Structure 1
Amino acid sequence: MKWTGPESQWTGGLAHWVVGDRAFISCAFTFKLPEARKWAIYYRSIGKTVAIGGPAMAHVKTQKYMEDVAIVPRGAGNPGRHDGALQRHNPAATIASRGCSEKCSFCIVPFMEGAFSELPNFPVLPVLCDNNLSGLPDDYQDHIIGRYKAEGVPLLDANSGFEPRTFSAKVFERWRVINKGVWRLAYDDLVERDFIREAMAILRGAGIAPRKVQIYTLLGNEPYEACMQRVREVIEWGGEPFCQPLMKLVSLTRDPHVKHDWTAKKLRAVARWANNRMWRSVAPRFEDYDPSVRRAPRARYDATQGLFI
């Protein structure tokens, strides 16, 4: 299957457009809200009525930040509330379900969407953004896969991926039929150690290359040594860590939330070392890495993945 539709290209977390006398703004990340606010002020200055939504608007504090310059509709934090809003962020992106069965304290989804709700008539597009594909009921997973097969659309990116607690050999065999991209899971704390090790063993045992086993590895929610243990284990078990420093859910800047024995500088340095794969050759151990040596951009945005790397 070859995709001939729109190219996968993320806007970077902020989309805005005009329909008649109304301007719409969809903001994914709270640190993009200052930019969104400037756009709202501009649209108002040219006589448009402005409405804002998106995941960044899920919290009452961020709603109050915008309510003097834009209308904040009820349910504004729901990215699918406005038809086509997700495709404004990426024309190749879709979502077949909202919500998640997990209730991670550092994640916006529980506040924004709550438990699972299914969207069976979703547009079939190659970037699937569901929060937790493996946590969905088996029959609904089969429904999603069946629609991709029936419409001949390849799944090029299961963007938010699978939950290690519910990932199994059965789930892998089900999704490998259509998944042509990276297998994404998350290793958020050491409580998940056995689950992620088993999930990675399934993938590597099936011959999935390390570059296609990408493990979101949260930094800063546990002490330094615990976080680095998770990073090292992802590498040892045959995958690639993608490190994301912990942030406050309502932060208006892209600055880490510093806890435990971390510093903001160390959080950024570990993420740079890991996400630029410097552990492959430049510095196999983070302790051998010199952050002062400029080898790569400090924060490059990959628009195809929608990730800061």
Structure 2
Amino acid sequence: MVRLVFLIAIFLSSTIQAAPLRIGVTDSILSLPLHVAKAEGFFVKRGVDVELVRCVFGHRCITNMLDGQTELSIAAELPAVLISFTRNDFSILTSFVSVSSDVKVVSLRSAKITEPSKLKGKTLGYVKGSVSQYVLDLVLVYSGIDPATVNLRAIQPENALAAIANREVDALCLWEPFVSRIQSNLGAQVQLVPIPKLYTETFNLMATHAVIKSKPKQLERIVLALKDSTNFIQANPDGAKALAVKHLNIPFSLINGIFDDYRYRLSLNRSLMRTMEGQARWALREGHVNRALPQPDFAGLVYPNILKAIDPGAVSLQ
């Protein structure tokens, strides 16, 4: 009996001392699998203690991770590409969602921007170092507009509504749910500019190399929980929408209107690598990073071992 009590005490002591793994997450529908995994108990089911730490957008999530505020983060691939020019101590473990219409252009109706070609000469807001900046540049180039003929203004996503409401910008290139919230708040004062689908965005789970080395089993359990979560979303879209409303503070009407645009599944494939390589060339060409820096080796920015062990068919990097 004494031995049993002693063993229980040791177990409880180790459990109390083990800190949860912190993951930086956004309040975007792109982050839904993390919030579902937490709400539905998939992390607990897989035997890993996780704390979700809110951050406004992916670039901040990554920088918070690299600053030691979290062990993992989620973000689109672009901020990872930009940071990888100067840091190579983190890797993508898996993508868990893809979408071609998350980033939109919303304009003041009074600016009369009814098509992309009418962006010329306007003041355009974007979030520096994010997919907002990348998509806006793609749209301008595709529309034959020299970026020098527009007035580009960097904003923070949390200030986007005020920027357009106060007419500091004529239009904004931004992601959901910020765009739909602007539409909800400003109503007929704004309109969506129909832009071509030039880019498929992924949201990805990332960890520092130190965490990958020291906590491989915990990371495997987190990825397993994400697999449970994406399976849940696919099989139970109504339940997933309800969880999004509750945990992301996004109205059901907004979620219902955009939900089918997102493809939730775990993957690491060659298209991710091609996208990152193209983004790196864009960043160098446009001077968004120091042109003297060499292009990163993106094979090192992806760590496929965990996903390959869980779901070999989800990995196709060659």
- For the superposition of Structure 1 and Structure 2, which TM-score range results when normalised by the shorter chain? under 0.3
Bigger relative contact order (CA 8 A; separation at least 6): 2
Name whichever structure is richer in strand by fraction. Answer: 2
TM-score normalised per structure 1: 0.27
Which structure has the highest helix share of the two?
2
Normalised TM-score (structure 2): 0.26
- Higher Cα Rg, which structure: 2
